[in-house]
Amino acid sequence: MANRKFKPYGWLGAVLLLSACASGPALQPEALKEADQAIEQMIAAHQMPGGVYRVERLGGAPYQHAYGQRAVLPAPEVAEESTVYDAASLTKVVVTAPLIQILRERGLLDIEAPLQRYLPDCALPAPITLRQLLTHSSGLPPSLPLTDAWQGRDQALALACRQTLMAPPGSAFRYSDINYILLGAIIERVSGKPLQVVAREDWLLPLGMADSGYLPLQRLPRERIAPTEILAEGQVLRGEVHDPTSRRMGGVAGHAGLFTTTADLGRLARTLLRGGVADDGTRVLSAESVALLSTPQSPAGLAVRGLGFDIDSTFSRPRGTLYPKTSFGHTGFTGCVLWMDPSSQSYFVLLANRVHPGPPGNSLPLYGQLGTASARAVQPSR
């Protein structure tokens, strides 16, 4: 379904035709219409230029649609379903957290070990475990300071290891990019490969996520990539990561830098909902790893997180009003959402560039609307 205005009932016919070709229950057309309208209203309110939405229940046909514009400046471009978006903090759960589990499965990492076992030069004032990094209970500040003129991954790591803790490890939930910057460094140190290489070779390509990865201009046409903000000097960021910390690190970091498509995120979601089995039948993660990623692993009394995914916290808006609290997912600053529900074997994805051309629009209300509409869409007809 390309980005176009359907004739009356045309989109309903398209959904019903696709559903007839699938073995699972059909998606509910009125709920899909509700999702379409919510996205179109957000675009009309100039909170985002466009985006791509996808919803699927395993065993049935997915619904995927592009809306609005991929680019506004320097020239308008219509959004397409194959558009590649800067996924921002989805990097944490699409790349970094699964790679930690892969290395754990290989016997190279212990989740309960202090990070200094793997980064012995990291002189933080208290021992912090990998579990605390993964669940954002480390006590580290939210982000690295950008006031100093530092550049590069080595300097970022050194700066991360000099931070003052804001709370004792394990005592408070505080979402922090620094947690995943450190995890990215651990992956590189333990695997012996650059993060962008281990991500592609050991995870993304085995899943069939060929359009996904860091540094997209090295493998994809520039015109496929949605631009993000326009910098003060007039440069339009396109194919360069929006996150300023990741950009200083060369575009490759554990917390941000992934570029991806809705179809590729669908491959990841189906794999996790199947307990670690990819579309081609290959087991790429153990069932234990999937459970660690997606079920409660936080210290008691704190916001509920897996060893990566959000489950029940102040960031759980995409759950909407109908998905249960056993569902899980994550968001990204650029306007991205991935949310999955094991009970209904379904997921939804939104990729967008609300930061283009800038300043950022407020798409937060849309996340809950899409969560509710997606949950309705995957319910069997009564």
Domain of 319, CATH number, reads 3.40.710.10
Q: What residue numbers bound the domain in which 245 lies?
A: 10-88+208-377
Domain count, the chain: 2
Do the Cβ atoms of 344 and 58 come closer than 8 Å? no
Residue 381: the pLDDT is 63
Same domain (yes/no): 107, 61: no
| Residue 3 included in any domain | no
Same domain (yes/no): 342, 248: yes
Which of residues 149, 172, 195 is at a domain's end? 195
Residue 303: the pLDDT is 97
Same domain (yes/no): 223, 316: yes
| Residue 382 included in any domain | no
φ/ψ (deg, to 5) at 285: -140, 150
Same domain (yes/no): 84, 106: no
Residue 148: the pLDDT is 86
Q: For residues 105 and 125, give the distance between their C-alpha atoms in angstroms, rounded to a whole number.
A: 29
Same domain (yes/no): 180, 225: no
φ/ψ (deg, to 5) at 34: -65, -40
Same domain (yes/no): 182, 274: no
| Residue 1 included in any domain | no
Give the length of the chain.
382
A 10 A CB-CB count for 92 gives 28
Helix ranges (H only) for the chain are 10-20, 29-44, 90-91, 97-105, 130-134, 153-160, 177-191, 195-199, 244-248, 262-273, 287-294, 364-377
Residue 279 CB partners (closer than 8 Å, separation 6+): 207, 208, 267, 270, 271
Tell me the pLDDT of the chain (382 aa) as tens digits.
333 333 333 333 333 333 334 456 799 999 999 999 999 999 999 999 999 999 999 999 999 999 999 999 999 999 999 999 999 999 999 999 999 999 999 999 999 999 999 999 999 999 999 999 999 999 999 999 999 889 999 999 999 999 999 999 999 999 999 999 999 999 999 999 999 999 999 999 999 999 999 999 999 999 999 999 998 778 899 999 999 999 999 999 999 999 999 999 999 999 999 999 999 999 999 999 999 999 999 999 999 999 999 999 999 999 999 999 999 999 999 999 999 999 999 999 999 999 999 999 999 999 999 999 999 999 976 5
Same domain (yes/no): 191, 273: no
Which of residues 195, 229, 257 is at a domain's end? 195
| Residue 2 included in any domain | no
Q: What's the first-to-final CA gap in the chain, in angstroms?
A: 27
Same domain (yes/no): 84, 100: no
Q: For residues 215 and 209, give the distance between their C-alpha atoms in angstroms, rounded to a whole number.
A: 15
| Residue 97 included in any domain | yes
